[in-house]
Amino acid sequence: MTMLKETRIVLRNMGKIDPVSATDYRAQGGYAGLQKALKMTPGEVIAEISASGLRGRGGAGFPTGKKLDISSKVEADQKYIICNADEGEPGTNKDRIILSSDPNTVFEGMAINAYAIGASRGFIYLRYEYPSLFPLIEAALQNARNEGFLGENIFGSGFSFDIELVSGGGAYVCGEETALISSIEGGRGEPRSKPPYPGAQGLYGKPTVVNNVETLANIPVILDKGGEYFSKIGEPGCTGTKLFTLCGKITERGVFEYPMGTNLMDIFETHGGVKDGRDLKGVMIGGQSGYLINNTQMDLKMDIDSCRRKDATLGTGTIMVIDDYYNLLEIVENIMTFFIHESCGKCTPCREGNVRMHEIIHNINVGKGKMEDLELLEELAETMKLTALCALGQNSFYPVITSLKNFRYDYVRAIERGQR
Amino acid sequence: MSKKQDFVLTAETQAQISAEAKKYKEAPWQLMRILLRIQKICENSFPRDVAVVVSQETGIDVATLYSYTSFYAMISDVPRGKYIVRMCESAPCHITGARDVMDAIEYTLKIKAGETTPDGLFTLEYCQCLGMCEKSPAIMINDQVYSDLTPGKASGLIEEYIRGDIA
């Protein structure tokens, strides 16, 4: 058994500084990355970020440098940077931890990205469910402005950038970037079809880069220490660290930062394994729309590509441990209730698909299931994957089909019991 | 389940609401925060009379306002209690005992999820992930989050609210 030690890049200042203090952040080497960036050309900044190999931490894993490059090349009189802090994914609280311990690293990341694409304004879209963060971020923004790290003519470079904090209203789907943009514009948080991507046509029709909190928190380190330094952390092709949220029935819960590619079993064992001496049934990884894997599948390297190769997903870094006490079907049913509630209702496959899946699983769970239902679930999943409008409906069935595969016995047993 | 009376506009609250709604034209991207603050003035609801005032100040017609507010879980057009108790029902809370905590809260408040107490003090709701997964199960009472709950801790907490020890 390997006992792991955290590698803190994103959480480098956690517990060391007063989170609202820009001077504390500065004393730890903060805003040095921005200062360096402002002496480079925007193209050089993007090249540095591309060289780091950083990929988006919101779940999709798109190369951040490429995202910036696309928006930098679009001609427009106004561009925007949005920080996606609508962290609604059950089993994920990493963004809350980052923003409550070190908001300035996110501001700095936004400022660097803004300089890279030629934006002068930024928004932080914060979910309503983090009420304590609103006053904290407002105070931190004000301090950063007072110290000249935000606002007009930053570091005397002629570059100006400021950030406003806006609120979500309790809608999971607003974590999807086009829904988030619609929400800021004063609309319902319904996703639209892409293209055009926000990078070309985003907020108020202008080129907009939307980044996850964790992605942004890495940017200052990349500019300060160099893309090459960053690229040596983690795995080739999937560099840096990842914040993992350990929750459910694990002995030591919390948010921990490990290099990309860290083994799931090692993380599990380092944090004490299953709570109260019960046996491990399985783990939900990647988030609520992630994968349910069983206790024989724990030898897994946790990075975007390794997970994909092993038919798993890194997603947002959720590790929700399930012990043998639980009826797995009840958990899947609970998860589908979530998606029924959070589907925006715009497209039929998602609006209806989640309801039907929930209904079928519920029936199986109460002993009214048939073996044919299992094929029906797979067919339904395939339909949603092919036809749903956004990532919500294209992923919400994963807990169903992965549990069907990895916990088939639980389904078959429930059906057979019902038929007796 | 009793029906709570609609919020009634007074000259004073109308002035507060107008002042808040006026901020929209300066910063339209702050619509959600503006409406959430207005909802606080209106005892946790956003009734039609109030929507009319907001409409006049913002230039957004009432139908569009409701199209917007009805999409978001945090704004309600029906009257709610002074305290909104939200129980997280997402999976990490679920598997660490959310149901038992909810039972205790329902027993203490003598209402079921979705209901408001007859004195108009508490509305009890289920909600989706509060983002406290590493400290589950969690609830939110108005803007205050409580985590690592047990049934006993939860009913003790609710009793503190009932006694007025927590305002």
| The pLDDT of residue B122 is above 70 | yes
Domains (range + CATH), chain A: 22-232 (3.40.50.11540), 235-323 (3.10.20.600), 328-419 (1.20.1440.230)
Average pLDDT, chain B: 94
Run of H or E residues at B15: helix B11-21
- What's the whole-model pTM score? 0.96
pLDDT digits (tens, 9 = 90+) for B6-56: 788 999 999 999 999 999 999 999 999 999 999 999 999 999 999 999 999
Average pLDDT, chain A: 96
Interface touch A331/B36, C-beta < 8 Å: no
DSSP structure class, residue A310? T
Q: What is the ipTM of this complex?
A: 0.96
| The pLDDT of residue B2 is above 60 | no
| The pLDDT of residue A410 is above 90 | yes
- Report pLDDT for B3: 63
| The pLDDT of residue A363 is above 80 | yes
Higher pLDDT, B78 or B104: B104
Q: How far apart are CA A299 and CA A155, in angstroms?
A: 48
**Touching check for B95 and chain A: CB below 8 Å?**
yes
Interface touch B131/A88, C-beta < 8 Å: yes
pLDDT digits (tens, 9 = 90+) for A238-291: 999 999 999 999 999 999 999 999 999 999 999 999 999 899 999 999 999 999
**Touching check for A369 and chain B: CB below 8 Å?**
no
pLDDT digits (tens, 9 = 90+) for A381-408: 999 999 999 999 999 999 999 999 999 9
Chain A residues whose CB is inside 8 A of the B95 CB are 248-249, 320, 322, 326, 331
Domains (range + CATH), chain B: 11-69 (no CATH), 83-163 (3.40.30.10)
Give me the residue from B68, B96, B134 closest to A93, CB to CB: B134
| The pLDDT of residue B1 is above 50 | no
**Touching check for A331 and chain B: CB below 8 Å?**
yes
Chain B residues whose CB is inside 8 A of the A168 CB are 32, 72
**Touching check for A376 and chain B: CB below 8 Å?**
no
- In angstroms, the Cα distances linking A95 to A98, A114, B10 are 5, 20, 41
Interface touch A127/B131, C-beta < 8 Å: yes
Closest by CA to A223, choosing from A383, A77, A59, A110, is A110
Chain A, window 105-144: residues with a beta carbon less than 8 angstroms from a chain B beta carbon = 123, 127-132
Burial bucket for residue B5 (CB in 10 Å: 0-12, 13-18, 19+):
exposed
φ/ψ of A337, rounded to 5, equals: -60, -40
| The pLDDT of residue B166 is above 60 | yes
**Touching check for B30 and chain A: CB below 8 Å?**
yes
Residue A119: band (very low, low, confident or very high) from pLDDT cuts 50, 70, 90: very high
Residue A228: band (very low, low, confident or very high) from pLDDT cuts 50, 70, 90: very high
